[in-house]
Amino acid sequence: MNNTIIFGHQNPDTDSICSAIAYSTLKNKLGHQCEPIRLGLINPETQFVLDYFAVKAPRLLHHVSKEAENAILVDHNEPQQSAIDINEIRIVEVIDHHRISNFESKEPLYFRIEPVGCTATILNKLYKENQIEIDKKTAGLMVSAIISDTLLFKSPTCTKEDIDAAHELSKIAEVSLEKYGLDMLKSGANLKDKTVEE
């Protein structure tokens, strides 16, 4: 049994999947025992990202409390967006960029919300604060999350921090933001269209 599982919200988007993987990687490099998991199906855009960087999708779980002692939430903080049995596991950390709602803790925890466009932008800071280098695959997942959440910097929630992080990460991942970013966003859109047509 893993000590700690890390997951994003139900109906996971690219940020929820990629940030769970990227934060697990950081925590494990710092000596923890973490596993990223997911609470729902991988969408076509996220599948494009995982294929591109040759990364396996996290395990799918609906109930989490029997799987680990501790949970870390990324990309969400509201219990109603989380695992069904979220109240039966100890939440030790939350890393998110959404408004705070209905979150209650019995004990102090590490709870870090920042008003930026994507969870991965906060993770980029956490890697730096912990002086851990980001490997190429992880940088690829992180830049994809930022492209997805900010619609390649076009969403109103996008901040200068997101743009700066995406540029840094795209260099490490060796992808062009323009070319890769559009291909990625299109892959999600195209496949969605197909499903509608079929």
Asked whether position 29 contacts a copy of itself by CB under 8 A, the answer is: no
CA–CA dist 7, 24 (Å, integer) = 9
Is residue 114 involved in binding a copy of itself (CB under 8 A)? yes
Cα 106 from Cα 112, distance rounded (Å): 17
Given 55, 113, 172, 191, the residue binding a copy of itself (CB under 8 A): 113
User: What six digits make up the tokens of 123?
Assistant: 């993770």
Widest pairwise Cα distance in the chain = 50
Are 18 and 47 in contact, with CB atoms under 8 Å apart? no
Give the residue from 1, 2, 5 showing the smallest Cα distance to 92.
5
Residue 8 to residue 83: CA distance in whole angstroms = 9
Residue with Cβ nearer Mn ion (102 or 131): 102
Residue of this chain nearest to Mn ion (CB atom): 15
Nearer CB in complex with Mn ion: 4/16: 16
* Contact string (CB under 5 A) for Mn ion, positions 22-61, x = contact: ----------------------------------------
Question: CB-wise, 95 or 175, nearer to a copy of itself?
Answer: 95
Q: Which amino acid belongs to residue 117?
A: G
Binds 75: which of Mn ion, a copy of itself, none (CB < 5-8 Å by kind): Mn ion
**Nearer to a copy of itself among residue 108 and residue 195 (C-beta):** 108
Q: Does 111 bind a copy of itself (CB under 8 A)?
A: yes
| CA contacts within 13 A on the Cβ side of 8 | 26
Binding site for a copy of itself (CB under 8 A): 97-116, 125, 129, 157
